[in-house]
Structure 1
C-alpha cells in the first residue's frame, strides 16, 4: 500500500470512528443531566463498609449492567442536612432513580415524597426510609438482633441464666436499630437474668459508646455486669476501650458488621463475636433494581418479599440472611469469602493467635 492510499484509508477509519465517539459524547452529556444517571447516597463514613464495599460494589455492578450509565455518589458523613442537600441536588439534576441509605429515615420521608411526585424512584438501601419508596434492599434486621442475642448467650455459656447484661443499642434515628434491639431482647429476655443498663447511642458513635460504658462501669461497678451487647462493631471498639481502661477482662462483647478491627479483637479475645452481613449480594441487588427501574422494567423477580414502613405498606423488598462469626468459624466465613485478607488481618502482634485458629 503506497503512502497516499494509506493516508486515505486512515482518514476513512478516523471518520468512521468519529460518529460513535460523538454519539458517546452526547450520551455522556445527557447522563450529566440525569437521563442515564443513578444516584447513590450513603449515610456516613465511620463504618468501614460504606466506602470499602457498598460504594465500590454498586458502582461496578451498575457499570456491568449499563455501559452508558453513570453513578452519582455522595456520602453524607452522618449529617441529615448534608444528605438532604445531596438528595435535592440529584432531583434538580434530573436523576430519576436514587439508591438512598438514610441518615435519618423519618426526616427522609418528605424528600422521598416530594421526589416521587416528580417521577423519581427511590430504593431504600440497608435502612428503610419513610415515604413513597419503590423498593427496599437490606437484611432481616430483627433476625440480626436475634443472632446477636444468641451470640451473647452462647459466649456466656452455662452462666447465661444468672448473667446481667449491659445493652448499647444503635442510633435512635436509624430505623434498623429498633429491629436489632427487638430481636436481641427476644433472646436475651429469655436467656439471661436481666438487663442492668440500656442506652441508645446517637450516630452509632464509638466515642459516645465508650463514654456511656465508662459511666455504666462507674455507676454499677466492675463486677456489676457479665456481658455487653453492642449493636455494631464500631461501638464495640469504644466499649472494648472502656473495659480495658477499667481493667475488666473476659467479659463477652458482641457486635455487628465484621469490620477488620472487630475481627482482630475476636482473634485477640477482646470481642466474642460479630454478625457477618455479606455486602455483595445486598449491593448488587440494589444496583440491579436501580437499573431495572431506570429502564422501566419489572423488579418482581428481585423482590421476594415485602416490608412496611410507618408511611407505606407492602414495599417490594429483598431481605438477606446474616450469620454469627466467632474465632471458630472466622476462617470459613469472612476469610473464605474474601471480605478480609489474612495478611492484613494477622498483623505481627496477632501472628500466634492467628496460627492457633488456622490463619497463617
Structure 2
C-alpha cells in the first residue's frame, strides 16, 4: 500500500509538471512570440501567376516599402501558382522559419482559413491582403471596394448597350465571372448583378471561371458564341485576363464588329486593347498604396502596434479592422489621367503602353 501511494504521488507530480510545462510553452492566440522588430521576417503569400499584377506590382511595391521602413527586416515570399494546397505548404514553411507576420492573399478564401488558424495558434498575426480570407483569425484586411468594382463594370456595359439600343429581347450579354473560391470574385459578381438585374438588359448565360483560368474562360465563350451567335451584344468579364480571353474568342469566331467587353485591374495588355478599340473599359485599382499599406501594417505588428482600421468588415462572425481603397473606371478618354499619371507600369509607363500602339496613343493624346 505504501509503495502504491508513493507511485500515485509520483504520477500526480509528473502530471502537474507536464501541465505546468504546457502552460509555460503555450502561445496565447493573437499574441506574437518575441521577435526583434529590427530584423523581423515578414511572410508575403500571393495567389497565382496568371494575374500579371501580383509579380509586376504587388510584390515589388510591398518589398520596396518594407525595405524603406525596416532595412533589417527579411521578406519571405511565395506564390501559390493557383494551388491552395501549395499555398498551405508555403505558409507552413514560413511559420517554421519564424515569421513575425503573415500577409496572405488567398488563392482559395475558404481553404486559407486553416492558414490563418495555424498562424494564430502560433501567435503570428495575419493580414488578409486583397482577397478576404474566410476566417475570424485575422488582424487586418486591406483591399478595394470590390462590390463597387462590379458595379462600375456593369454600369459601363449597361450604359453602352442602352446608348446603342442593344441587349434586350433575344439579344443580351454574357457574364464571365471569376473563380468561385475567391471571395473578391463573389463581390464583383454581386455588385455587377445589382446593376444588370435592374437594367432590363438580358442575361443570356454566365459562368464562374475555375481558378480564373483564361483557357477555360475562352472555351466557355467560344461555346456561347456557337450557341447564341450574333445575339451576344456584350460581355462582362470579371478581370482583364478573362476579358482578353473573351476578346480572343470573339476574334477567332470572326465576330464583327467586336462586342463591348469590360474588365478590371488596368493590366497593360487591357489598356492597350482599350486604346486600340478592342476592349471597352477596365477598372483601375491603385496597387501601390494597397501594397504599401500592407507593408506598413506588417511592420507595425512586428512592434506590437495596432493602427486603427478605417472601417471594419464582418467575416466568420468577427469584425476585422479594414482598409478599403477607392477604384476608378478607365476608358480610352482617361488613360492619361489615371494609369499614365500614376506611372502604373513604372517610370517608363508611356513607352510600355505605346511602343507597339503609337497611332492609338497619338489618337488619345498619350506620349
Shift of 1:117: 1.4
Among 120, 125, 128, the alignment partner of 1:121 is 125
Residues 164 and 192 in structure 1, CA contact (< 8 A), matched pair in contact too: no
Shift of 1:96: 2.4
Q: Answer yes or no: is 1:307 the counterpart of 2:283.
A: no
CA RMSD of aligned residues (A): 1.8
Q: Answer yes or no: is 1:68 the counterpart of 2:76.
A: no
For structure 2, the 5+ residue unaligned runs are: 1-33
Could you tell me which residue of structure 2 aligns to residue 45 of structure 1? 49
In 2: Cα distance, 1:347 partner to 1:73 partner = 32
Q: Answer yes or no: is 1:320 the counterpart of 2:325.
A: yes
Residues 251 and 258 in structure 2, CA contact (< 8 A), matched pair in contact too: no
> What SS is found at the alignment partner of 2:235?
strand
In 2: Cα distance, 1:68 partner to 1:230 partner = 42
Deviation by residue 1:216-267 (Cα, 9 ceiling, x = unmatched): 111122x121110000000111111100011112311000100011011101
How many residues of Structure 1 are paired with residues of Structure 2 in the alignment? 326
Residues 104 and 173 in structure 1, CA contact (< 8 A), matched pair in contact too: yes
Following superposition of structure 1 onto structure 2, how do residues 1-360 of structure 1 map, counting pairs within 5 Å? 36-131=40-135, 132-158=137-163, 159=165, 162=168, 164-221=172-229, 223-248=230-255, 249-300=257-308, 303-309=309-315, 311-340=316-345, 341-348=349-356, 350-360=357-367
Could you tell me which residue of structure 1 aligns to residue 24 of structure 2? none
In 2: Cα distance, 1:111 partner to 1:265 partner = 38
Pair 228,115 (structure 1): closer, same or farther in 2 beyond 3 Å: same
Residues 35 and 95 in structure 1, CA contact (< 8 A), matched pair in contact too: no
Q: Normalising to structure 2: TM-score of the pair?
A: 0.85
Pair 139,80 (structure 1): closer, same or farther in 2 beyond 3 Å: same
Residues 149 and 187 in structure 1, CA contact (< 8 A), matched pair in contact too: yes
In 1: Cα distance, 2:339 partner to 2:39 partner = 38
In 2: Cα distance, 1:358 partner to 1:56 partner = 29
In 2: Cα distance, 1:344 partner to 1:287 partner = 27
Q: Normalising to structure 1: TM-score of the pair?
A: 0.87
> What SS is found at the alignment partner of 1:212?
helix
Displacement over 3 Å in runs of 4+: none
Residues 307 and 315 in structure 1, CA contact (< 8 A), matched pair in contact too: yes
For structure 1, the 5+ residue unaligned runs are: 1-29
> What SS is found at the alignment partner of 2:44?
strand
Residues 310 and 321 in structure 2, CA contact (< 8 A), matched pair in contact too: yes
Residues 103 and 298 in structure 2, CA contact (< 8 A), matched pair in contact too: yes
> What SS is found at the alignment partner of 2:236?
strand
